[in-house]
Amino acid sequence: TAMVYMTGILGGYVADRLLGYQRSIMLGGVLMALGMFMLMSPNLEMFLLGLAVVVVGNGLFKPNISTMVGKLYAPGDARRDSGFTIFYMGINAGALVAPIICASWIGAKYGFRWGLFTAGIGMILGLMMFQAFKAWLGQVGTAPAGKTGYGPLVQVLVGSAVLVVPVYFLLSQSDVLGMLLIVMMLALVAYFIYSGISSGSKEQLHRYIAMMILFAANILFWALFEQAGSSLNFLARDYVNMPTIFGQTLHFSIFQSVNPVFILLLAPVFAAMWPALDSRNINPSIPRKFAYGLIAAAIGFYVLVFAIEHFVGENGRISWTWLTLTYLIHTMGELCLSPIGLAMVTKLARPEETGFAMGGWFLSIAMANFV
């Protein structure tokens, strides 16, 4: 999970300088689908190689879609935060449906390799949709001047194949990965400080310093939040009484869809709230929104601590409602921080470095996953 976000900084650079955002997304999606199909193999080495291909593909995919959303808005457009919130709803519509189909239904019933196969097919359908409607984007995300044609595409494909090798190695070398992440974060800070100074604008330097401070807050938030896929998932499996619907006890993996449900319900509320507050000159600053996110992460975990101290049943389990409440509070924190952070990067970075800066945002999430 750390490396899935870590490769985004390379993907952002490739999109800025070589492929453009649209072609980077298509190539990344193809690699991710290929990786999903490789995960079906019963052979451990092939499975790990599939994970490495997914990691590299996501590096080309994830940061560049986010960057394109930012480029749809003019600088200073108050709708940008709301635009990113709506974009976030799209992400979470997929995050809601995917675990139900791939894990709770097909994976649990027919075997998880077929759940992974379904994920690969879903990726291909997504790419077909993107290709069909990309004309709506106009010139946003097209190839940089002088970088059209197949030459840059072949270069990036070869580079991706080469990158799979160290990623495969790092899957089993957590200590090395940790040191690499620290070095990359320090290099990122140094680069943006240098870029701010060389721009000749004190304002741009201050923007980059602010961005680095918010990256640090981002690491702390996601280190807590990303336990949803690990420790909270094991908690649901081993220590939570699962609800029963129509006589069927739900599979514990259904909790992976709880956060997206709350995102879809609450994101329109938050998207409408920020411009409304802005019109009254009481819209919280970006750092204050980040603080609200961190407070919500803390409160969410305290709910579980409280339940474990006071409401454990005779079977050693707590009610599913406590874990659901934790996810609700964490989701509210996420909506104060994550779409706002994506918008923040596109506001504070120089236009020619937006993709690289977005890769830096995802690198901070990589560090969070490692932590």
- pTM recorded for the entire structure: 0.82
pLDDT for res 182: 94
pLDDT, residue 360, reads 86
Q: How far apart are CA 329 and CA 349, in angstroms?
A: 30
Q: Is 201 helix (H, G, I), strand (E, B) or coil?
A: coil
Dump pLDDT digits (tens) for 294-329: 999 999 999 999 999 999 999 999 999 999 999 999
Q: What's the one-letter identity of residue 198?
A: S
Amino acid identity for residue 251 in this structure: H
- Using the predicted structure, report yes or no on whether residue 355 has a pLDDT greater than 80: no
Percent of the chain having pLDDT more than 90?
A: 70
* pLDDT given for residue 10 in this prediction: 87
Give phi and psi for 316, each to the nearest 5: 80, 15
Per-residue pLDDT, averaged over 195-204, amounts to 93
Q: Give pLDDT, residue 291.
A: 96
Q: Which two tokens stand for residue 340?
A: 């706002």
Cα separations in angstroms, 264 against 178, 288, 318, 338, 341: 34, 23, 26, 14, 18
CB 152 within 8 A of CB 19: yes
CB-count burial class (<10 Å; 0-12, 13-18, 19+) for 282: exposed
Q: Is the pLDDT of residue 230 over 80?
A: yes
Confidence at 66, pLDDT banded by 50, 70, 90: confident
Report pLDDT digits (tens) over 259-302. Answer: 999 999 998 898 889 889 999 999 999 899 999 999 999 999 99
pLDDT, residue 237, reads 95
Lowest mean pLDDT among 9-23, 94-108, 158-172, 204-218: 9-23
Tell me what pLDDT residue 337 has.
Answer: 92
Q: What is the mean pLDDT of residues 3-20?
A: 87
